[in-house]
Amino acid sequence: MFMCRIFAAALAEGKVSPILKIGLKRLEYGGYDSAGMATINGDHLEIKKGVGKIDEVDKAVNFESLEGNVGIAHNRWATHGYPSVTNAHPIVDCTGNIAVVHNGVIENFLELKEDLIEKGHVFKSRTDTEVVAHLVEEELKEEKDFVNACLKAIKKVEGSYALAIIYSKEPDKIVLVKKESPLYLGIGKDGNFASSDPVAFVDKTNLMIPLEDYELAVITPYYYKIYSINTGNIITRKPTEINITPQMIEKGGFPHYMLKEIFEQPTSLYYAMNIQKPYLEAIAELMYRSKINFLVGAGTSYHSCLAASYMYSKLAGLATIPVVASEFIHQYGNTLDPDTSLLLVSQSGETADVLKVASFARMKASTVMAITNVVSSTITRLSRLYLVQQAGPEIGVAATKTYTSQLLIHLLLALEIGKKREKISEEEFKDYFAKIRSIPKIAESILKNTEQKVKEVAEILKDSSHIFYLGRGINTATAFEGRLKMLEIAYIPSSAFSAGESKHGPIALIEKNTPVIFVAPNDSSRRVILGNIMEIKSRGGKIITLGNSDDKELKEVSDIYIEMPESEDILTPILYVLPLQLLAYYTAVLRGLDPDKPRNLAKSVTVE
Ligand code: F6R
């Protein structure tokens, strides 16, 4: 379960449940549709869990009634399956002696589940996590030591995980395992802790140890040990000091949710890449069979549709029509019929304009499908098929991580359709896939490498009266999205155009030092965009360019140059928007504005 958060604590004295509850509250930013806790009381487990925000669940179940000094806790933000008490963590094995909390996705859970069912295990939840509880149970039949059983069990698991596991027969121990999902140990005087985010235990200790991938740790009230999963050897690692103030706690160490969410993109992209394959294929199949395909969204989600129309064309030779949701019925309503498909894109799944299109299209017997970030949203009920982005909750009003994850999902769909339409070979498909796999890492390096430069640009732009964003081809959408971010949170009037359009009117507004931001990767439009830059430059505009790091020519003609890594043109909208998100953020901060709460805007617009 992505974007869930886990917390575990083993105390030398006293009840653990009140401490777990405080930790869960601090981790609530990571998810809030169900929560749960398990403690070891004597020789048995006690478990409380429920659906809703932590306070709501607590009111219903009273977490603090759990006895015992060792326990694990979880808050969940559903991605697979609706939030329910059964699917809420902790998840237990058949005996009820083992409990597990998990953040991540177990990719081979279906195979493991089949195998375990054959061995007689009975599954109760619809979570991927449950296989871990049964695997440990299975290993404990042969291997009497809990830690060894976990070491053996985890070797069978593929995917990503931060796991905390307890076993009532070895009541002092909590086993922690990490691969790809974050997990930190907190080393205290009166107990030891572990969490997806050190904010959970920051008031208990200022010493922490980040676990590395393929490591398993054991904490008890008195000691901790770290093992390599591959060799079983003990690893020695000294704790380091935590540098977090209580004020930073709820935003995971960032001053604003927006910045936190911008920096979460390497992770949210990773999860978008691992989206539910059967639904992806089914949507691709329906789009492939349809006579006409519309892509419909509002605001940022519309921009993802616009960029996507280039992807479907380039990779699948498929014409798609991107349309702004509020205009759809007027513009195309009369054309809908059963041979038409609509792919609706809405991070919240609650945008009224989009829902109206969904209901309208259903009446016309068209095929309604959706991409959304919220699993139980209205759009999922109106759609024949939907994909959940798994980007985790987006709290900042300006959409950031959900935009890039929408783009990546469109890309995967375009590749799938490209294969069906025989527009790309198996070889090319694999090649694209390899490139897509590298996106999270590239995104991470872009965020790191451009942040300082972007801050300098923000300083220059902060008092501008108007900013232009120009791009070409697929990055017309990037220009639109950069502009939307800037005007909605920094309130600087901004315009965006396909660069080719600039001389058909907008260029009249260019005066000396008017800032013009060019999105200019090294793709087929690079030559023409250079011409557009020259046109603006000769009229005195200040040229700020995002381009390839080794593009000397572009660098030379630009006043400010933000260096980007070389990448496949179809991937550039995902990567080039990152510095533009940062730019809007830092410009807003320099103007003394709160980027998380832009005036007049709501996170989800539920009125037409
Ligand atoms: C911009 C922004 C809005 C939303 C739009 C659609 O940063 O957040 O423009 O993109 O309101 O919202 P969803 O995707 O929830 O339908």
Question: Which residue's CA is minimally distant from atom 4 of ligand 1?
Answer: 299
**608 belongs to a structural domain:** no
Catalytic annotation, pick one of 15, 113, 356, 603: 603
Q: Are residues 246 and 309 in the same domain?
A: no
**411 belongs to a structural domain:** yes
Q: Are residues 53 and 144 in the same domain?
A: yes
Q: Is the CB of 399 under 6 A from ligand 1?
A: yes
**606 belongs to a structural domain:** no
Ligand 1 centroid, distance to 498 Cα (angstroms) = 21
Last residue of a domain, one of 388, 403, 437: 437
**Per-chain mean pLDDT for the chain:** 92
Q: Is the CB of 137 under 6 A from ligand 1?
A: no
pLDDT of 366 higher than 50: yes
Q: What is the DSSP letter of 42?
A: T
CATH number at residue 20: 3.60.20.10
CA distances from 90 to 87, 100, 178, 350, 434 (A): 9, 5, 17, 30, 35
For 395-427, write each residue's pLDDT tens digit: 888 999 999 999 999 999 999 999 999 999 999
Question: Which residue's CA is minimally distant from atom 3 of ligand 1?
Answer: 299
**607 belongs to a structural domain:** no
CATH number at residue 284: 3.40.50.10490
**195 belongs to a structural domain:** yes
Last residue of a domain, one of 437, 453, 481: 437
Q: Is the CB of 398 under 6 A from ligand 1?
A: yes
Q: Are residues 149 and 34 in the same domain?
A: yes
The answer to pTM > 0.75 is no
Q: Predicted confidence band at 240 (pLDDT cuts at 50, 70, 90)?
A: confident
Please compute the mean of the pLDDT values over residues 294-308 and round it to a whole number.
Answer: 98
Q: Is the CB of 299 under 6 A from ligand 1?
A: yes
Q: Are residues 194 and 264 in the same domain?
A: no
Please compute the mean of the pLDDT values over residues 364-390 and round it to a whole number.
Answer: 91
Please report the pLDDT score of residue 507 as a whole number: 83
Q: Are residues 496 and 411 in the same domain?
A: no
320 φ/ψ sector (left φ>0, alpha ψ -120 to 50, else beta): beta
Q: Structurally, how many domains does the chain consist of?
A: 3
> Which residues are CB-neighbours of 24 under 8 A, at least 6 positions away?
5, 7, 35, 37, 54, 73, 74, 75, 200
Please report the pLDDT score of residue 532 as a whole number: 92
Q: Is the CB of 253 under 6 A from ligand 1?
A: no
Kindly state the percentage of the chain with pLDDT values over 90. 77
For 142-199, write each residue's pLDDT tens digit: 999 999 999 999 999 998 899 999 999 999 999 999 998 879 999 999 999 999 888 8
Distance CA 137, CA 124 (A): 15
Beta bridge partners of 368: 342
Question: Which residue's CA is minimally distant from atom 6 of ligand 1?
Answer: 298
Which one, of 456, 461, 468, lies nearest residue 511 by Cα? 468
Q: Are residues 359 and 241 in the same domain?
A: no
Which one, of 410, 456, 490, 491, lies nearest residue 579 by Cα? 456
Q: Are residues 233 and 270 in the same domain?
A: no
| Chain mean position to CA 391 | 3
Q: Are residues 156 and 240 in the same domain?
A: yes
> Which residues are CB-neighbours of 220 under 8 A, at least 6 positions away?
10, 70, 172, 173, 174, 192
Question: Which residue's CA is minimally distant from atom 11 of ligand 1?
Answer: 299
Q: Are residues 401 and 455 in the same domain?
A: no
Q: Is the CB of 529 under 6 A from ligand 1?
A: no
CA distances from 425 to 55, 278, 419 (A): 52, 21, 7
Q: Which domain holds residue 585?
A: 445-601
In a 13 Å sphere around the CA of 107, the CA atoms on its Cβ side amount to 11
Distance CA 403, CA 414 (A): 17
**83 belongs to a structural domain:** yes
Based on the residue annotation, tell me whether 503 is a catalytic residue of this protein: no
pLDDT of 249 higher than 70: no
Please report the pLDDT score of residue 606 as a whole number: 45
For 48-105, write each residue's pLDDT tens digit: 999 988 889 999 999 999 999 999 999 887 655 567 899 999 999 999 999 999 988 8
Q: Are residues 367 and 315 in the same domain?
A: yes
Beta bridge partners of 186: 193, 208
Q: Are residues 213 and 330 in the same domain?
A: no
Q: Are residues 373 and 487 in the same domain?
A: no
**518 belongs to a structural domain:** yes
pLDDT of 248 higher than 60: no
Last residue of a domain, one of 195, 222, 250: 250
Residue whose token pair is 């059964």: 86
Pocket test for ligand 1, best of 300, 324, 328 (most atoms within 8 A of CB): 300
**64 belongs to a structural domain:** yes
Please report the pLDDT score of residue 361 as a whole number: 98
